[in-house]
């Protein structure tokens, strides 16, 4: 059924309503109201008198009946707008990732476009009302048809539907958050969280951070330094040996990752933290984690380049580092599934780059040998080449059909942007007496 368009005068926007909202750049997009809270402007209107409706009633005393109806309509509309402006609204932009969800004031909502779903009668006679819970997100789903997985996804989305921290201040960078993260309750609901860029301790107040920096003696991540190439360094950290640092890292990473649940149980994981080194110490750029013992053969559980360092080539660097470690372990690896939308793009780009560079020089290599050389699992090789229409089936086997012109064109496209890969000569792994046990 088509949505029922509601009159602007019927009520203020409610949770579950859809309407047109202005994005930060002024463009218009359909949005769904996920939550609402008292606006900061509400308190300033408290105690301002008896309100407009009483004054309006006095103004209509000597009006004719038709004039009173017209003025009454205007007063109702004004009252609805005033009531609606008492709230700030948390909106999800329909068709976009949840990282773009945000709190907005009434001025960014077009109340003339409010829609609600039609009420559907159930056998008991009860219909859906706009106070029902939010519809499952159409912008984020694993695509699974497993009822248990779908139930978990629904529960996860309900629990994490509203960001609990507005932004983080980390060194010189102020970074808007993307998603909910399960920080302790006393740190939730703040507009800004202050994070020490060296030890990752988090604080609610700027003056607390200033005091902390005077006493903090940490200048680099814990664990073993396993990579150094000019000012780029990598530290291998055992989650069992350094739980507080790894928990802080995971909580901060969760602000920028949606479907990852590694927060406090860090002991089964190794962490590989990438940092930029300067005279003041190290600045965390990103990281990946991996299970110490993965029955599925995953060589990476979680990957993130923090937003302030994105578009600098670190995504491919971190992925290439995970595969270089897999090569030294003597086995092929693959990232844990499902990947986020950004993770899919990063991996597809990396796999294409590595495979095309190899096939440009050796177009007749069989898939098994490509896996041996690159440590990329066969299923990832096949899916990447199928995406590029370079896999044919012959006598029940997958056969690579290299299109040289397309290979060259794709490599030129990828290499136009900065390509930063792990330099094997700079990697000291496994560490003597360390590594995965």
Strand partners, 433: none
Closest CA to 14 of 167, 178, 132, 146: 132
Q: Which of 291, 329, 336, 393 is catalytic?
A: 336
Examine the residue annotation and report whether 336 is marked as an active-site residue of this protein: yes
**Nearest CA to 254 among 358, 325, 368, 340?**
340
Give dist(CA 6, CA 84) in Å, integer.
Answer: 15
Q: Show the DSSP H helices in 22-175 as ranges.
A: 42-45, 52-59, 65-84, 147-159
Q: In the structure encoding, which two tokens stand for residue 382, read together? A: 């096949």
Residues 6 or more apart from 236 whose CB is under 8 A from it? 223, 224, 226, 270, 271, 272, 429, 431, 434, 435
Q: Beta-strand (E) ranges in 196-306?
A: 202-203, 224-229, 232-238, 269-278, 281-291, 298-300, 302-305
The contacts of residue 255 (CB under 8 Å, 6+ apart) are 163, 165, 168, 177, 178, 179, 181
Backbone angles phi, psi at 97, to 5 degrees: -65, 155
The helix (H) or strand (E) run that includes residue 330 is: none
Torsion angles phi and psi, residue 254, rounded to 5: -65, -25
Q: At what angle do helices 65-84 and 52-59 cross, to 10 degrees?
A: 170
- The owner of tokens 């009252």 is 79
Taking 3-state DSSP, the helix, strand and coil percentages for the chain, each rounded to the nearest 5, stand at 35, 25, 40
Q: Which residues pair with 170 in a beta bridge?
A: 173, 195
The rounded distance, in Å, linking the Cα atoms of 292 and 266 is: 11
Q: For the chain, give me the number of helices (H) and strands (E)?
A: 11, 19
Q: List, by residue number, the catalytic residues.
A: 336
């Amino acid at each position: 059924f088509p949505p029922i368009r509601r009159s602007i005068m019927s009520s203020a926007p409610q949770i579950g309503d859809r309407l047109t909202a202005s994005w930060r750049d002024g463009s218009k997009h359909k949005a769904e109201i996920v939550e609402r809270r008292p606006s900061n402007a509400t308190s300033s209107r408290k105690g301002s008198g008896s309100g407009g409706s009483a004054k309006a009633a006095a103004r209509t005393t000597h009006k004719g009946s038709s004039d009173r109806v017209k003025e009454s309509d205007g007063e109702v509309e004004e009252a609805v707008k005033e009531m609606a402006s008492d709230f700030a609204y948390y909106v999800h932009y329909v068709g976009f990732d949840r990282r773009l969800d945000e709190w907005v004031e009434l001025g960014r909502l077009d109340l003339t476009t409010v829609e609600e779903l039609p009420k559907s009668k159930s056998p008991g006679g009860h219909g859906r009302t706009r106070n029902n819970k939010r519809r499952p997100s159409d912008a984020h789903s694993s695509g699974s048809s497993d009822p248990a997985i779908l139930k978990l996804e629904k529960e996860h989305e309900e629990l994490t539907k509203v960001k609990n921290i507005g932004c983080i201040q980390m060194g010189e960078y102020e970074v808007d958050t993307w998603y909910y993260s399960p920080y302790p309750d006393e740190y939730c609901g703040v507009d800004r969280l202050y994070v020490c860029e060296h030890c990752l301790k988090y604080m609610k107040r700027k003056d607390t951070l200033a005091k902390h920096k005077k006493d903090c003696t940490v200048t680099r991540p814990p664990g073993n330094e396993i990579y150094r190439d000019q000012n780029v360094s990598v530290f291998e950290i055992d989650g069992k040996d350094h739980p507080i640092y790894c928990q802080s890292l995971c909580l901060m990473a969760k602000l920028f990752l949606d479907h990852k649940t590694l927060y406090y149980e860090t002991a089964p994981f190794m962490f590989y933290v990438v940092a930029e080194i300067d005279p003041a110490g190290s600045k965390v750029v990103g990281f990946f984690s991996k299970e110490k013992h993965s029955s599925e053969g995953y060589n990476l559980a979680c990957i993130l380049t923090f937003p302030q360092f994105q578009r600098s080539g670190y995504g491919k660097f971190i992925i290439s580092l995970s595969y270089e470690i897999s090569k030294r372990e003597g086995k092929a690896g693959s990232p844990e599934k499902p990947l986020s939308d950004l993770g899919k793009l990063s991996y597809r780009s990396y796999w294409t780059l590595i495979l095309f560079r190899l096939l440009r020089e050796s177009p007749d290599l069989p898939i098994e040998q490509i896996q041996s050389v690159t440590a990329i699992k066969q299923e990832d090789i096949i899916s990447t080449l199928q995406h590029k229409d370079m896999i044919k089936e012959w006598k029940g086997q997958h056969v690579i059909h290299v299109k040289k012109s397309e290979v060259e064109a794709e490599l030129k496209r990828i290499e136009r942007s900065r390509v930063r890969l792990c330099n094997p000569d700079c990697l000291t792994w496994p560490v003597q007496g360390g590594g995965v046990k």
